Amino acid sequence: MSPVNKKTSERLKFLYRDGDFSKIFDYLASRSNNARETKLDRLAWITGLDRSKVTAFLRALQELELGRFLVGRKGYPSRFEWTVALISVGQVASGESDEILTDDLVDGADDDMELTADQVTYEVPLRPDVKAKLTLPANITRVETIRIANFVRGLAVDVTEEGGR
């Protein structure tokens, strides 16, 4: 485990303010397992962002020396090889943590490991002290994600200043 230097932490928090990048950081923070490698197309698919935005994100992480962005060649996909724990990168960016972990990477793990199961569980940070768990099909469609988003939107409770409904 190593503390993030102040410049890296500030840069991650700055990047988090970009609405599109925050989607990626939130996904990273919500994962239950770290990985040595993340494929560009998988991040684009999960977040609904276009490849150019995800590429810009991964290049920014490379500039911060959190890993290495590899452009796909000869049939290999474009991907990011992590030198740190990806979950902690998302947590530092969102302000949930002050440390980027380096000692909890799983040998040989990559994002495809999550795709082998029929379902994937995500931890979604709602508040500093509250996380929600969401279990979804590994091959969820965009229509299904819209249905879930609309359902969750309907659960919202407006709270008055006195703490009542």
Is the pLDDT confidence value at 3 over 70?
no
Could you tell me the sign of the dihedral formed by the alpha carbons of 31, 29, 106, 74, in that order? Answer: positive
CATH of residue 104's domain is 1.10.10.10
153 occurs within a structural domain: no
What's the first-to-final CA gap in the chain, in angstroms? 43
Average pLDDT over residues 131-155: 81
164 occurs within a structural domain: no
Per-residue model confidence (pLDDT) at position 165: 54
161 occurs within a structural domain: no
Instruction: Determine what percent of the chain is predicted with pLDDT higher than 90.
Output: 37
Per the model's pLDDT, the better-predicted residue between 113 and 10 turns out to be: 10
160 occurs within a structural domain: no
- State how far the Cα of 118 lies from the Cα of 107, in Å rounded to an integer: 23
Collapsing DSSP states into helix, strand and coil, what is residue 122? strand
152 occurs within a structural domain: no
Closest to 61 (Cα-Cα) out of 82, 46, 45: 82
149 occurs within a structural domain: no
Q: How many CB atoms lie within 10 A of CB 22?
A: 16
**What's the structural domain count of the chain?**
1
Q: How many CB atoms lie within 10 A of CB 115?
A: 12
Beta bridge partners of residue 124, listed in sequence order: 132
155 occurs within a structural domain: no
pTM of the model: 0.62
CB of 58 closer than 8 Å to CB of 72: no
158 occurs within a structural domain: no
Collapsing DSSP states into helix, strand and coil, what is residue 103? coil
Q: Which two tokens stand for residue 143?
A: 């229509």
Q: pLDDT digits over 63-115, tens only?
A: 999 999 999 888 889 999 999 999 999 999 998 988 888 755 444 444 544 44
Domain enclosing residue 24, as ranges: 2-138
Average pLDDT over residues 10-34: 91
